[in-house]
Amino acid sequence: MSTSDVNASKSRLRIFSPISLIFFCDSIFQGLTEPNHGSDPGSMETTAEEAPGGGGFVIDGAKTWISNAHITDIFVIWARCEWDDKVRGFVVEKGTSGLSAPAIKNKLVLRASLTGSVFLDNVKVLQEALLSGTKGLGAYALERHQFRRPLASFQLVQKKLVDAQTEVTTGLLASLQVGRLKDAGKVAPEMISLVKRNNCGKALKHARRVLDILGGNVCADE
């Protein structure tokens, strides 16, 4: 990067704040949600460390299920700072080396918005990329500290999973019995209709419940 490029980038970054970003960019996004922890900053794996020799930072990690990620101009990446373990925001411009933002395709649920993932591999940013005034998301992390435990350890979640597995087993056994009756020439059309109605309805119901537990990672067939 030439000296003029560095100066231009610094000038752009000086005007950025969580509010001014809205007015100066065609498209921006804030990257908080991660593949393994959702929107829980207390478990954030994306990290930022001071660049060797100073003069900036190096960011590594991944974000997912981010609206407009693959068409955005400016990325606001939340990362855990290695020097004090606090979560802060960093401005990363489109085209920065090591940054990629592929679209998430083949979604299995509502498709009202464009969504993508963001991968950061040894992404180097200037000192000015650190958002002014961001001192960490500690308060929010405290509110969501339950995510530090396995989600399935909570009884309400266990009940949802058991209910879903029970209905799967019931549906399979009902289908098996109707199939045996058909092979024996004893099936009635009403039997097929009732089992089909039951299985389809329960599949939809419990798919939504499992989606509530597991989040966006179950929304695509990739």
Do 102 and 156 fall into the same domain?
no
Q: Looking at the structure, tell me whether residues 105 and 29 fall in a common domain.
A: yes
Taking only the tens place, the pLDDT of each residue in 127-174 is 888 886 655 544 443 333 345 566 555 667 778 878 888 888 899 899
Q: What are the φ/ψ torsions at residue 83 (nearest 5 degrees)? A: -80, -20
Is residue 115 domain-shared with residue 89, that is, in the same domain? yes
- Are 118 and 68 within one domain? yes
Half-sphere exposure of 208 (CA within 13 A, CB side): 6
Residue 222: exposure state from Cβ atoms within 10 A (0-12, 13-18, ≥19): exposed
11 vs 47, more confident: 47
User: What is the span of the domain harbouring residue 92?
Assistant: 3-147
| 118 and 159 inside one domain | no
**Domain containing 208 — which CATH number?**
1.20.140.10
Are 90 and 186 members of one domain?
no
Based on the domain organization, do 70 and 21 belong to the same domain? Answer: yes
pTM for the full predicted model: 0.58
CATH assignment at residue 60: 2.40.110.10
Domain final position from 112, 147, 182: 147
Q: Tell whether 142 and 162 lie within a shared domain.
A: no
Instruction: With beta carbons less than 8 A apart as the criterion, state whether 168 and 200 touch.
Output: no
Residues 136 and 160 occupy one common structural domain: no
- Do 112 and 34 sit in the same domain of this protein? yes
Q: What is the pLDDT of residue 161?
A: 79
- CA pair distance 36, 21, nearest whole angstrom: 28
Which residue, 90, 116, 147, sits at the end of a domain? Answer: 147
51-92: pLDDT as tens digits:
988 789 999 999 988 888 888 888 888 888 998 888 888 889
74-81 and 47-50 strand pairing: parallel
Place of tokens 């990362």: 79
Maximum CA pair distance of the chain?
Answer: 84
Spatial separation of the C-alpha atoms in residues 120 and 221, rounded to whole Å: 23
Overall domain count for the chain: 2
Given a cut of 60, whether residue 16 has pLDDT beyond it is no
Mean pLDDT value across residues 84-104: 88
pLDDT digits (tens, 9 = 90+) for 18-50: 444 433 444 556 677 888 777 676 778 899 999
